[in-house]
Each structure stands twice: as C-alpha cells, then as structure tokens.
Amino acid sequence: MTVQNWWRGAVIYQIYPRSFLDTNGDGVGDLPGIDERLDYVASLGVDAIWVSPFFTSPMADFGYDIADFRCVDPLFGTLEDFDRVLEKAHRLGLKVMVDQVLGHCSSEHAWFRESRQNRSNPKADWFVWADAKPDGTPPNNWMSIFGGVAWTWEPRRGQYYLHNFLSSQPALNFHNPAVRQAQLDNLKFWLDRGVDGFRLDSINFPFHDAQLRDNPPKPAELRTGRGFSADNPYAFQYHIYNNTQPENLGLLEDVRALMDSYPDVGAVGEISSEDSLATTAEYCTSKRLHMGYSFELLTEEFSAAYIRQTVEALEAKMLEGWPCWAISNHDVQRAVTRWGGENPDPALAKMLVALVCSLRGSVCLFQGEELGLPEAEVPFEALQDPYGKAFWPNFKGRDGCRTPMPWTSTGDAGFSQNKPWLPVPPAHRLLSVSVQEDDAGSTLHAVRKFLHWRKTQPALLTGAIHFVDAPAQLLAFVREHPEQRLLMVFNLSADEVQWSTPIAGELCVPAYGVACVPLDER
C-alpha cells in the first residue's frame, strides 16, 4: 500500500466542539456548528481538523469521560451529523482526526457498570481492581492528576479501582487482552467510517505496573510537573509505575499495524511522562505512533534558549519519528497570556503562530489561536472545570482557554442564541472573526497569509532544522530541504534587535517580529 503521509508537516486545527458554534440554542457547541464553519477553517490554510471528544458522555470531564466510544452524544448531534462534517471536510481538502481515549472510560460505561458488580462477572478483570491494605487504605501511593489518591473504594466488590484522572474515569486494565482488542475495535470503527487519523489522549497511560509498586517520592525542589497545578500532590512523586510501562510499546505497535491497513492515515499521541521527550522519541517510530507531542512548549517558560534546548533535545533523541508541536490547547492557559502577560502585544500572537509553524514537524493550532485570543478570566461562580474547582484560587482550571469562539462583536459573539456554557469575555468580542476580517492588519489575516505561504515552502514542510547562535532575544534556525534553505529568525522580546548574522549579513528584527531569509535558492 502506498503511504502518502499527509500528516507530515501538516497544520492541524483543534476544534473543541462545546465552544465552537452552537446551532440549536442550548448554549453548547455541536457538530452542525462545526459543519457550518468548516469553510472558515479551510480558508485559514490548515491541512486537517482534530475534533475533541463528541462521544456519549456524562460530561464530568467534558467528553474525556466516554460512556460509549462509538456513539455521538445527543448534546453534539448524531452520527449522521458527524458523517456530514467528515464529507464536507474532505470536500474542502481537510483531513479529519478524532480524539480517542484508550486508557480509561466513564464510570457510566456499560463495561464498568458490569465490572463493579462483583468479582466473577465477564467484565470483572476489565478494570484495575485491587484489595485494600490490611488497614483498609488504598493498595499503593499512586495519585490522580486531578488531585488526591488515584483509588476509589467500590463496596459491591470490596475493592479499590484505579483512576489516573477523576474518580468517574476508571482506568481500563490493558493487561487483559480482551480490553486491548476492544479498544482496537473501537479505533477500527472510526477508521471504517472514513476518519484520517486520531489524536490519542494520554497515550502513555494505558498500562500500569502489574505489581502495583509504590512510586518513589520526588524532592520538593523538583516538583515542577508539566500540565498540572504546581500545588498538586501529583507532583510529589516520580511516576515510575502508574504510566509509561514497557508493555505500552506493544499496544502502540498493534495500533500502528491496524492503521497501516488503511490508506494514508496518521495518529498523534499526547505524552506526559517523567522524561516526555525521551518517551516521545521512543513512541514515534515506523512501527508505533506517526507523531507525538508533549507539554514542553505548553509551559510558562518562554525564551529562545529554552525553545532551542527543547527542540534540539528531541531532535537528538528522535532518530526515526516525526514531531508535532503545540503551544496552546484545551488544557493550558492560552499562549499569548502565558507568555505575554495580561495585555499581550498583538504582534506576539502573529509571531508565535509563525514560530511554531516553522519548527520541524507537524503543528496543532487551537481554535482562536489564529485570532490571538488571550486567556479569559472566568469567575468562580461560572466555573465548569472540576479541576479548577478543586484547586481554586491557586489554579483556576482550564475554562479560561475553553470559552466560546467569538464570531461577531455583539452579544455572545455569535456563538449561541442563548446563554453559553461559559461566558464570552468582552476582550474576545473585540477580537472576533468579523472584526478581524475587516482589518487588513489583524492577527487573523497575518496567520492566514503565513499558513498559505508555508504550504509553498518545502523547507518548512519537511526540511531539516539547524539552530544558529544569536542574541538572547532571538531564536534563529535554518530549515534545509534539497530544493531550498531558509534562515528563520524570531524576536521573542518587546524591543527591536539588530543582529550581524554569520550567514545572511545585517538583520533588523522588530519587536515580536519575524525575519525569513532565503539562502542560496537552488
């Protein structure tokens, strides 16, 4: 079978369905809303969409707690609505990736409802069950990412069950071959429906240590976890045994073997481990994942030195695979606020998109990133995220990046005819699509222009990357392809920078500006 690798160098636009467009007036975005705005997405110059979960769910974690992996939740529409999105996307030249959560499901899933009844039912070993210690406490010291212990007592079985996230998200037992096959069959269902790939949520979590050994403690000065609150006890441990187990490699190879039986599909895995870059390199090979991304560029650290160090570290380790980069998504504070403060310079938003789209690899852009949306301030009384409620006020959760997409400048920004599930901040109305379409100098127009130009640059799509020493404020690298060499320079500071480059002469890079210098075009 000929593999075209559409995903290699692709820009993938993440759609968070709840917040994209509401067409039925219930305040929550839906699949018909995605269908209605696909022309806009295609106009950006992206190559694919990644649709966050729209499956049947009690919505305790807003869709990442799945009660039926093959059905659309009525909140979002129907399976036929999804088919219409898929057909229209393909007609517009967009590939479609759907989120898949392999490692856990909802406590409302039929599998778990059966498993929890007793220790002898057909699904008894489909989840991670363990006896209490003699004193009644949980079987080991594992912690949940969402705070507290990772074990919940089930009186019907007289055992604890494992959950790496919410207690309503029980961990599946991948040591059971039947579980592994069931999840592969769920992937096959969507591949047969015509999707072009998957974003695999928390893909290093499916397997756990079968011996249930305690995780070792982490010194206080090293408790700087990625992707979770700094005061979360999850950061108090080295997560040696509750995820990233050797058996997971076999699962990834099974996933790849399944996907290789379909023409031109791809998968990107979300990876968060003790050494995420090393895990990404290990997971992304010709027999495992097509692409992987981690949280290294989703943190508060922002400097040319840090970005260079991160990219070079992955390049050194990933000898066979293909990286995928993201600086914003539905789980972290929006990049322009994280790196630009409360009142970010609009030039920063333009530069950040150009930067991440110039690195070697594929890119995930989060909806609204093309508008330069800052993080929304969501008051506690309007908060929906259980993670934020638990850690308020030190950590305000993930709702600030999940507020509705602003389409117009009035009311609820054209998102819904009724009260939206999260409030639309006034600042977002001023940055709406309609406002920016009318402004030739807007972030939207700049991003659209850059992405369309990028499609014509082979060096940026698939070329190698080599960093160049530059002043501290500048990130500089060469992208090299047999047909083209480009020097890309990004000013990460609010001041203009003069630089005598060793390969392109004098450059003047404006504040939060970008310079692209062709080198000996061939």
pLDDT, tens digit, 9 for 90 and up, residues 179-218:
999 999 999 999 999 999 999 999 999 999 999 999 999 9
Query: Residue-wise over 458-476: b if at least 16 C-beta within 10 A, else e?
Result: ebbbbbebebbebeebbbb
- The yes-or-no verdict on residue 375 having pLDDT over 70 is yes
Q: Which of 319, 305, 320 is nearest to 256 (CA)?
A: 320
Task: Give the model's pLDDT for residue 226.
Answer: 54
Q: Is 61 noted as a catalytic residue in this protein?
A: no
Q: Does the pLDDT at position 1 exceed 80?
A: no
Return the number of other C-beta atoms located less than 10 Å from residue 164's C-beta.
24
454: how many CB neighbours lie within 10 A of its CB? 18
* 506 is known as an active-site residue: no
Of 315, 330, 143, 103, the residue nearest 227 (C-alpha): 330
Summarize the confidence of residues 296-303 as an average pLDDT.
Answer: 94
The structure's pTM equals 0.97
Confidence of residue 393 (pLDDT cuts 50, 70, 90): confident
Q: How many CB atoms lie within 10 A of CB 490?
A: 24
Neighbouring CB atoms inside 10 A of 46's CB total: 25
Q: Which residue spans within 134-271 are E strands per DSSP? A: 151-154, 159-162, 197-200, 266-270
Question: Which of 80, 72, 93 is CA-nearest to residue 17?
Answer: 72
CA 149 to chain centre: 25
Of the candidates 377, 375, 371, 314, the one whose C-alpha atom is nearest the C-alpha of residue 346 is 371
CA separation for the pair 19, 426 (Å, rounded): 16
High-pLDDT (> 90) share of the chain, %: 92
- The span from the CA of 414 to the CA of 429, in Å, is 9
Lowest mean pLDDT among 39-48, 103-112, 261-270, 385-394: 385-394
Q: Which amino acid is at 401?
A: C
Q: Can you give the pLDDT at residue 106?
A: 98
pLDDT, tens digit (0-9, with 9 covering 90-100), for 319-331: 889 999 999 999 9
Domain boundaries, the chain: 11-105+176-453, 464-519
**Is 2's pLDDT higher than 50?**
no
- At residue 522, the pLDDT reads 40
User: What is the rounded CA–CA span in Å between residue 487 and residue 358?
Assistant: 10
What angle (nearest 5°) sits at the alpha carbon of residue 295, between those of residues 367 and 422?
A: 40
pLDDT of residue 458: 97
β-pairing, 48-51 vs 95-100, is parallel
Tell me what pLDDT residue 222 has: 86
DSSP code of residue 127: B
Active-site position among 30, 196, 270, 375: 270
pLDDT for 231: 76
Whose CA is closest to 416, among 26, 18, 16? 26
Q: What pLDDT does residue 485 have? A: 97
pLDDT tens for each residue of 305-317 = 999 999 999 999 9
Residue whose pair of structure tokens reads 């599946």 in the numeric block: 172
Answer whether residue 3 shows pLDDT above 50: no
28 CB contacts (<8 Å, ≥6 apart)? 18, 22, 75, 76, 416, 420, 421
One of 81, 99, 201, 296 is an active-site residue; which one?
201
Q: What is the pLDDT of residue 521?
A: 54
**Tokens representing 186?**
């769920």
pLDDT tens-digit map of 129-184: 999 999 999 999 999 999 899 999 999 999 999 999 999 999 999 999 999 999 99
pLDDT confidence of residue 234: 93
Residue 264 Ramachandran class (φ > 0 left, ψ -120 to 50 alpha, else beta): left
What region does 411 belong to: left with phi over 0, alpha with psi -120 to 50, or beta?
left
CATH number, span 464-519: 2.60.40.1180
- Yes or no: say if 79 and 146 are a contact pair by the CB < 8 Å rule: no
Label residue 225 by pLDDT band (50, 70, 90). Answer: low
Q: Per CATH, which fold does 11-105+176-453 belong to?
A: TIM Barrel (3.20.20)
- pLDDT tens digits for 409-422? 999 999 999 999 99
Q: What are phi and psi of 201, to 5 degrees?
A: -70, 135
Cβ atoms within 10 A of the Cβ of 336, count? 27
- Give the mean model confidence (pLDDT) for residues 116-136: 98
Q: Whole-angstrom Cα distance, residue 40 to residue 90? A: 14
Going by the DSSP 8-state scheme, the letter that residue 401 receives in this structure is: G
* Tens digits of residue pLDDT in 237-255: 999 999 999 999 999 999 9
pLDDT of residue 387: 86
Helix/strand/coil (H/E/C) assignment for every residue in 141-168: CCECCCCCECEEEECCCCEEEECCCCCC
**pLDDT for res 229:** 54
Q: Which of 18, 288, 276, 67 is nearest to 170 (CA)?
A: 67
Residue 331 tokens read as: 């789980």
State the pLDDT at residue 8: 96
pLDDT tens digit string along 334-368?
A: 999 999 998 999 999 999 999 999 999 999 999 99
Measure the CA dihedral 351/355/357/362, to 10°: -150
C-alpha dist (Å) from residue 84 to 34, 90, 95, 308, 489: 10, 10, 13, 42, 41
